[in-house]
Amino acid sequence: MLIRRPADIAPSEITPRALFEDRRRFLQTLSGGAVAGAALWAGFPSTARAAPQKLAPLTPSPFNVKEDKTPYKAVTTYNNFYEFGTDKEDPAANAGVMATRPWTVKVEGLVGKPRSFDIDEILKLAPLEERIYRLRCVEAWSMVIPWVGFPLAALLKQVEPQGSAKYVEFISHYDPKIMLRRPVLDWPYREGLRLDEAMHPLTLLTVGLYGEVLPNQNGAPVRIVVPWKYGFKSAKSIVTIRLVEREPVSSWTQANAAEYGFYSNVNPNVDHPRWTQSKERRIGEFSKRPTLMFNGYADQVARLYQGMDLQKYY
């Protein structure tokens, strides 16, 4: 017998009440309440988006933060993905042309079993988890995003890192035909982690958000998410993962080493040379909130940096 199930509504379709009300409050603060009606209207979520592919089943994660999630619309329209333009709205407008299938990720360097992974293999490599993480951008704004993925360690173990491998370098896709040709950064975008950082259970090989495959502007089809570091450390649209002996130079460090160090751990006590890092604006909130040491993940990661001068290794 066929039992008709009610239509699934993705959690992403529902704007959390708190945010809905928060936006009202924001607008009312601006206008002294004169536009409550307009604000109510403005608060409705947009329904005009194509249904992306769902990712399921998802295992819940013990690392989830309990804070309100940033709405899907903000997560997918306010992005730094310089290959598609340097304004926040550019990636959402321009990244659609990037083909994310077929897609392979080469894992090479100091490993016992170098190989390429097809994106469909990656999706089946380990159980997919939903990880609700804080994201803190170096520009002093933040979000809370329900990512989907599994620990990068699961992939790295498959290639058997050699003893001499101390660092992991990530190289992003670069196609000058569809991406920025101006050398704003040294393309392709490169990032890096220490091997122990890369193997940390919080470091997520990420294939989705809000229960669906990653939108292109968020780094489809596969990226990493390192929640205790500034956002630019989490490379998007990765095509190569290389295990190396020496500290790799990331594109941002190469561009300005005094401002963007290799570690770039979220740290309210070490200011960016041009602005303070002690506070941040959570997207959707009016007042700034204090920035937390290691973005609130100190219990999990502080031991990685024991004995290190974090003013020096910023």
Partner 1 sequence: MMKDSPPRRPAMPPIGPIKVALFLVCLLPLAHLVQAGLTDALGANPIEAITHATGDWTLRFLLITLAVTPLRRLTGAHWLLRLRRMLGLFAFFYASLHFTTYIWLDQFFDLQGIAKDVLKRPFITVGFAAFVLLIPLAATSNSFAIRRLGGRKWQSLHRSVYAIAILGVTHYWWLVKKDISEPLLYGSILAGLLGIRAWWREVERRKQLAGEYMPKAKLGRKVIQIVPK
Count of residues that bind partner 1 according to CB under 8 A: 37
**Which region, judged by CB under 8 A, interacts with partner 1, from 84-92, 118-126, 237-245, 294-302?**
84-92
Task: Tell me: does residue 66 bind partner 1 (CB under 8 A).
Answer: no
Task: Tell me: does residue 269 bind partner 1 (CB under 8 A).
Answer: no
Residues forming beta bridges with residue 134, ordered by sequence position: 144
Where is 159: in which H helix or E strand? helix 152-159
Q: Binding pattern to partner 1, positions 218-247, x when CB under 8 A?
A: ------------------------------
Residue 311 sits at φ, ψ, to 5 deg, of -70, -35
Near partner 1 by CB under 8 A: residue from 81, 141, 189, 297: 141
169 CB neighbour count, 10 Å cutoff: 22
Task: Tell me: does residue 43 bind partner 1 (CB under 8 A).
Answer: yes
What region, left, alpha or beta, does residue 113 occupy, with left being phi > 0 and alpha being psi -120 to 50 degrees?
Answer: beta
Task: Tell me: does residue 274 bind partner 1 (CB under 8 A).
Answer: yes
Which sign does the torsion angle of CA 12, 14, 17, 23 carry?
positive
Minimum distance, C-beta of residue 119 to partner 1, in the bound complex (Å): 28
Token pair for residue 216?
A: 């292109």
Is there a contact between 243 and 162 (Cβ–Cβ < 8 Å)? yes
The closest of 87, 216, 224 to 151, measured between CA atoms, is 224
Which ranges constitute the DSSP H helices of 180-273?
195-199, 251-255
**Which region, judged by CB under 8 A, interacts with partner 1, from 19-27, 163-171, 199-207, 262-270?**
19-27
Q: Is the peptide bond before 188 cis (omega within 30 degrees of 0)?
A: yes
Near partner 1 by CB under 8 A: residue from 10, 38, 93, 99: 38
Closer by beta carbon to partner 1, 164 or else 256: 256
- Catalog residues that contact partner 1 under the rule CB under 8 A: 23, 26-27, 30-31, 35, 38, 42-43, 70, 73-74, 77-78, 82, 86, 88-89, 138-139, 141, 182, 184-185, 255-256, 271, 274-276, 279, 281, 283-284, 286-288
